[in-house]
Amino acid sequence: MTHTLKRTFAVLLLAIFGSTILYNCEPDPDSLGEQLFNQDAAQGNETPYELIAYNINNHDSIRSDASRLISLLNTQGVSTSIGVLGAFTESKFGMQKASYLTQLRMPVDNFDFNGPQAKVDSVVLVLRMPANTADDTYYLSDSLKAPGAYDREDFPIGDEKVPVSIEKKTYPVRKYGKIGTSNSMRINVHEITRFIDPTEKAFMRSNVDVSTGALLGSAVFDGNVSSVTVTRKSDNTNVFTGNLGFRMKLDKDFFQTHIIDKKGKPELQDASNFIRYFKGLKISVDETDKYLFQFSANDMELIMYYKYDKTDNGVVTRPQTTLVFNLGAANAHIGQYEYERAGSEVSTALGASSEQNGDPKLYAQGMGGPSIGIKIPDTTIDELKTLYQKDKAGIVSAKIRLYVDPSSWTNKHSVAGDRKFTILPVDDKKGADGELVSSSFTADLLAGFTMYYYNKDPEYYDFVVTKTVKDIIEAAAANKVLIINPGSFVRDSSGNLWGTKYTTRAFDMNRTIFTGSSDKTNAKRARLMVTYATKKN
C-alpha cells in the first residue's frame, strides 16, 4: 500500500468509525496522527483531560519601546509601528490609559531656514490612524465638521484668501471601549523635559516615568477622521487633498523661540545635540473613561510653516515654506500605559492566583495586562503515556480548549475579528527585563499548523498542541508551561515569523475573560481535548 493511499484510508476510516481505526499498514502507533494534525481532518471522539490554567501577573508592565511596537516588516525590513492613545474604565479590568512618547529631529544639521528673518506662521502635528473604511481619510480641522460639500469664501492659499469648495467624508476610527453618545476626547501634546535614552531599561517599558514641561497644543478629537478635497472655485484646480489623519495646531511661539531663534547655535548643530535639547513630545488624553484607538507611529508628521526674506532682483518677498521634523524610526518611541486596578475583578483574581491548583477565571489583556499560563499535569501525561504504551494509541489531535466566560464583560462595539492570541512554550528562567522567556515557537507552529480555532456558539478557542503533546508522550520532550497572550506574531511581507519576542501584544487593545480550570464541576472549564486512535492487530 502506498504512503498516499494509507493517508487517505486513515482519514476515511476516522470519519466512518470514530475514534478507533483499523490501521494495519502502519508499523507503529507513533506514525498514526502525524498526517491528521489539522482539526478538520480529526473526526474521532474527543476525550477531555485535566490541565492547570492560571493567571500570570505581569505587574502592568511590558516592553513597549520601538522594537516592540512593530506590526509588519516589509521586504526592505522597514517596520510599521503602532501607537495607542485613549483611556477606558470598566469593572472587570479597571482603568487603562495609553499615552505616547516620541523623540523628534531636525531634517538636516545646522538648518539655516532659507536665510534671515524667518518667522513661524503655524505648526501642525498630524496623527494618522486606521478608520472603519478602506478609503484613505483625513481630518482637517475642528471647524470642518459637517459632512458633504460646502463652500468657503476665505480659504488661505499663500498670502491670499480665496473662495473654494470643500468636499468632506467622515468615518469613525477603530475604537475599543465606550462608544456611546460622547465620542470626544481632548488630546494634549506636551514637551518632554527628561532626555530619553533608548539604551536604558527604564525607557523600554510601558510604565516609564517622564517629566513634562510646556503644553504645546491641545485639540478635541471626536472619534472620526475624514477625507477632504479642497478645490479653487475660479478654475476648479485642486488646492488640497487630505489623507488619513488628525491635525492639531501647536504653539507657534514655542517653535519660534526654541527652533528658529536657535539658528546657528549648538542646539541645532547635530542630531545628538538636538535630542538632548528638545527631548521629545508626550501625546496623551485628559479623560479616563472613553475608549482606546491606534495610530500609525511611523506616519506621524510635525510640520512647521514659516516665512523668510527672499531678495530677487532687488525685490524682497516673504514666501512661505515648511520644515518637516523627522519623527521616524531613528527616534526613540515608547508606549506609556497607566492602570488603576483598585476594586477591579482582575485585581482580586491576580491576588489569589494559584499555579498549583489553577484559577476559576482567566484574564488576558494586552499592553502589559495579565497573561494565561497552561500546565499539563503529570497525571494527564501519565494517562496518555499508558494509552500509548499499552493500548497502542496514537494521538490524532490535541487542543487546549478555553471557553470565553459567559458572565464576563464584552465590548460589543469593538471591531469584529480583532481578538487575536499567541501561544508559546516557556523556558525555566526569566529574562533580564523580567519577562518570561520563550526561546522557540511551539512544535505545532514550527510544523506549519494553525495556532488556534475559534468556535462562536458556544464561544471558545481551541489552541492546537497536537505535535507538542505527541512529542511529550512519544519522544520524552520536556513538558513546558505554555503562555497565552493577546496579540499576534509579527511577520514580514512574505509571511515569515520574525521571532518569539516580536508580537503585537504591546499595543493590542483587547481583553478577554476565560473560564479557568479549578472548578471541577464546571463543564466548560479549561481542559486538554485529545482525539486518539488505537491500532488493532
440-453 pLDDT, tens digit each: 999 999 999 999 99
pTM of the model: 0.85
What is the mean pLDDT of the segment spanning 75-94? 85
Helix 466-475 to helix 378-390 angle (10° resolution) is: 70
Distance between CA atoms of residues 93 and 293, nearest Å:
17
Length of the chain (residues) = 537
Output 91 or 436, whichever has higher pLDDT: 91
Residues 207, 210, 214: CA angle, nearest 5 degrees: 140
Who contacts 403 (Cβ-Cβ below 8 Å, separation ≥6)? 458, 459, 460, 514, 515, 524, 525, 526
Mean pLDDT score of the chain:
83
With b meaning 16 or more CB within 10 Å and e meaning fewer, what string describes 305-330?
ebbbeeeeeeeeeeeeeebebbbbee
CB 173 within 8 A of CB 139: no
Res. 467: pLDDT tops 50: yes
CB 336 within 8 A of CB 64: yes
Tens-place pLDDT, residues 224-264? 877 677 888 788 887 766 666 788 999 999 999 999 999 99
CA-CA-CA-CA dihedral for 221, 224, 225, 231, to nearest 10: -100
Q: What are phi and psi of 294, to 5 degrees?
A: -100, 155
What is the mean pLDDT of the segment spanning 322-335? 93
What pLDDT is stored for residue 242 in this prediction?
62
What pLDDT is stored for residue 183 in this prediction?
82
Distance between CA atoms of residues 342 and 360, nearest Å:
20
User: How crowded is residue 5: how many other Cβ atoms within 10 Å of its Cβ?
Assistant: 10
Res. 7: pLDDT tops 50: no
Res. 324: pLDDT tops 90: yes
Q: What is the largest CA-CA distance in the chain?
A: 104
Distance between CA atoms of residues 29 and 515, nearest Å:
34
